[in-house]
């Protein structure tokens, strides 16, 4: 069996572009020579999984990543891995279990997805950035010195940030009527929202490095190619509908209330998600924070306008 690069969440927001990019690099990257790509999915029957299975050098496997053990990683000869975990309250228990297994299995390098850099700290009011802080602290400990890792700290995904704008446009085109345009951003604070596909491309570039040691313990801040404010999102919407938006609700996180009402988890914990956008509203998440090291590897290219156009086609 060939040495393996494992992609956890291969059909997800970032995993798909990790697989697609690595597949293209298999014949050109010295570090990837002789390797195979093992892409995990929850369903082999999904269109995304079936598409990935057609790519050169890719084996798609139906496997729940939270059940991966040290022996499983050894049996599949995993030497490098990409992981984009969920952000449920039990994230630390499940993701840390994966990293411990990877360490003991001799995995050499792991690239993981974190969250907005300004929030990754132990005193963040939102719960899930504290989890990412704890995972990064664990990986930074002396006990993990034999496993290299890089943590990618992307700003809010543009697909999520612009989803309500896309739905507003679609509904207007269908009915000719307007509801309130609900935006999670503030009117004036610039934020460097990023397309998850661009994040995955960078992850693949890191995994294809012959010597990733220069990226070991790195926490790279990722933003899109340009900033956008809530007011600018409104302007984009108006261009698409050919009319003035009549009602806008900025800093609208009502979707969190819906999630808290439906959850079996602690409502107090879930409602803390509302604090996650405060750093963006305070102007701390602009493109000026982007880590310069990533620009030569895989500078993000997808603008907010590009992403909105794509969302409108779905």
Domain CATH for 104: 3.40.50.720
Place of tokens 């543009």: 158
Three-state DSSP state, 137 = helix
Strand partners, 130: none
> What pLDDT shows up at residue 33?
86
| Phi, psi values for residue 73, rounded to 5° | -65, -40
pLDDT at position 29, please? 86
Per-residue confidence (pLDDT) for residue 31, from 0 to 100? 83
Domain range holding 90?
4-156+195-224+286-300
Q: Is the dihedral of CA 31, 200, 155, 78 positive or negative?
A: negative
- Residues 52 and 163 placed together within one structural domain of the fold: no
Burial zone of 307 (CB within 10 Å; 0-12 exposed, 13-18 middle, 19+ buried):
buried
d(CA 96, CA 131): 10
The answer to whether 285 and 137 have CB atoms below 8 angstroms apart is no
Question: Encoding tokens for residue 91?
Answer: 């994230």
Examine the domain organization and report whether 14 and 163 are in the same domain.
no
Q: Are residue 102 and residue 166 in the same domain, yes or no?
A: no
Q: Do both 238 and 207 map to the same domain?
A: no
Within-domain flag for 108: yes
Q: Give which of 203, 177, 192 is closest to 288, Cα–Cα.
A: 192
Residues 150 and 263 in one domain: no
Q: In the prediction, which pLDDT does 199 show?
A: 98
Instruction: Give the total number of structural domains in the chain.
Output: 2
CB contact burial 271-288 (16+ within 10 A = b; e otherwise): bbbbbbbbbbbeebbbbe
257: in domain: yes
Tokens 């974190």 identify what position? 114
Query: 310 lies in a domain?
Result: no
- Mark whether 90 and 235 lie in a shared domain: no
Query: Which residues in the chain land under pLDDT 70?
Result: none
Whether residues 30 and 56 fall in one domain: yes
Let me know whether 8 and 143 are in one domain.
yes
Residue 86 and residue 173 in one domain: no
Residue 246 lies in a domain: yes
Q: Is residue 312 part of a domain?
A: no
- Same domain? 243 vs 107: no
58, 24 in Cβ contact below 8 A? no
Residue 233 lies in a domain: yes
pTM over 0.85: yes
Tell me the two tokens of residue 305.
Answer: 């306008």
Residues 134, 22 within the same domain: yes
12 in any annotated domain:
yes
Half-sphere exposure of 237 toward its Cβ, with a 13 Å CA cutoff? 28
Is residue 171 in some structural domain? Answer: yes
Same domain as 164, residue 75: no
Check residue 286 and give its pLDDT. Answer: 97
């Amino acid at each position: 069996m060939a040495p393996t690069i494992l992609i956890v969440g291969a059909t997800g927001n970032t995993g798909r572009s990790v697989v697609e990019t690595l597949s293209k690099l298999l014949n050109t990257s010295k570090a990837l020579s002789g390797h195979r790509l093992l892409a995990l999915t929850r369903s082999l029957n999904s269109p995304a999984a079936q598409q990935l299975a057609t790519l050169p050098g890719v084996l798609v496997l139906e496997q729940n990543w939270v059940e991966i053990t040290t022996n499983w990683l050894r049996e599949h000869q995993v030497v490098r891995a990409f992981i984009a975990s969920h952000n449920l309250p039990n994230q630390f228990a499940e993701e840390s279990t994966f990293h411990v297994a990877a360490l003991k299995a001799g995995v050499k390098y792991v690239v993981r997805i974190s969250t907005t850099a300004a929030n990754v700290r132990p005193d963040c009011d939102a719960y899930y950035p504290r989890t990412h802080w704890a995972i990064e602290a664990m990986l930074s400990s002396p006990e993990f010195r034999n496993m290299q890792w890089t943590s990618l700290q992307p700003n809010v995904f543009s697909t999520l940030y612009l989803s309500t704008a896309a739905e507003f446009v679609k509904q207007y085109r269908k009915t000719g009527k307007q509801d309130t345009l609900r935006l999670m951003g503030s009117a004036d604070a610039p934020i460097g929202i990023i397309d998850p596909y661009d994040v995955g491309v960078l992850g693949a570039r890191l995994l294809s490095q012959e010597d990733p040691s220069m990226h070991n313990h790195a926490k790279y801040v990722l933003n899109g190619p340009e900033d956008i404010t809530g007011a600018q999102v409104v302007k984009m919407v108006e261009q698409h509908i050919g009319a003035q938006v009549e009602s806008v609700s900025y800093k609208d996180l009502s979707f969190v209330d819906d999630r808290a009402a439906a959850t079996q988890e602690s409502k107090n914990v879930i409602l803390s998600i509302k604090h996650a956008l405060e750093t963006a509203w305070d102007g701390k998440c602009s493109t000026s924070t982007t880590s310069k090291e990533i620009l030569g590897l895989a500078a993000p290219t997808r603008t907010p306008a590009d992403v909105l156009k794509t969302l409108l086609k779905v």
